[in-house]
Amino acid sequence: MQRWRGLEDIPQDWGRSVVTIGSYDGVHRGHQLIISHAVERARALGVPSVVVTFDPHPSEVVRPGSHPPLLAPHHRRAELMADLGVDAVLILPFTTEFSKLSPADFVAKVLVDKLHAKAVVEGPNFRFGHKAAGNVAFLAEQGETYDFEVEVVDLYVSGAAGGGDPFSSTLTRRLVTAGDVEGAREILGRPHRVEGVVVRGAQRGRELGFPTANVETLPHTAIPADGVYAGYLHAQGEVMPAAISVGTNPQFDGTERTVEAYAIDRVGLDLYGLHVAVDFLAYVRGQAKFESLEALLEQMAVDVKRCRELIAAEE
């Protein structure tokens, strides 16, 4: 799959294509419907499929300080889109100047001049252009002018997650923030993932017999509520069952919020400086401060046993 950062990266001989546009944070099951339809339509027409997305999130430019927690960084979204069969991803730098493009200018400069759209696939509430003035009806009008089709796909899947609310990135963020990683997983179609580099912490876990990878997460990452979770640690191409702790380590009067993953039953791992990923499979318990270090150690043993059971049941 080709990855372009900016219009200038698009090959000059790029032919016609089927395009879909959106932030697609998380590439959840609703997003998957739209993207898969675009891929299928592209194959039927014999042209490549392109996903157009933005960096940073448009809200950060339009309303500084309002950047939402991200469910997946751009490289992860690209991986997920590649798995769906997408041929190219275009990440457009979302600047103040870019935000002032009218819907008509966006169509002309991006969809027509650069991507030579043959079809555009979107959800029913898609908005674009300055002040989000463009919608699918306007897009369809532009399609008649510039000779591209517009297809609208209903992305609103729903289920038990969120009490039956339609699946969305907003709902997923809310569930992750509340620690409901099982609900988030239903929407995403896979466990919620947090990525970052392993850094040196206080190394208390090693002293206590539960050495953890202290993950310095990427900016704006959606991190689950404080507590203990069962999941997986991905490092150096290996997937390891893990007990994951999120919080401030109140037992030691900590103040900084951390994500730490203990690779269950693994000895001698040296992951410092490596980029790793942590998948959150199930919630185990909330963060707590114990009466003694012995009580904490007893609880940690119980937590690891519970995580082992949850992961084994999953596998």
DSSP-derived secondary structure for 248-269: --GGGT--S-EEEEEETT--S-
Region of 65 (left: φ > 0; alpha: ψ -120 to 50; beta: rest) is left
Nearest to 183 by CA among 172, 194, 193: 172
260 is catalytic: yes
Q: Tell me how far apart the alpha carbons of residues 172 and 180 are, in angstroms, rounded to a whole number.
A: 9
Q: Tell me how far apart the alpha carbons of residues 227 and 188 are, in angstroms, rounded to a whole number.
A: 21
Buried b (16+ CB within 10 A) or exposed e, 217-256: bbeebbbbbebbbbbbbbbeeeebbbbbbbbebebeeeee
Choosing from 216, 260, 298, 309, which is the catalytic residue? 260
DSSP-derived secondary structure for 152-182: E-----B-SGGGGPBP-HHHHHHHHHTT-HH
Q: Which residues are catalytic?
A: 260
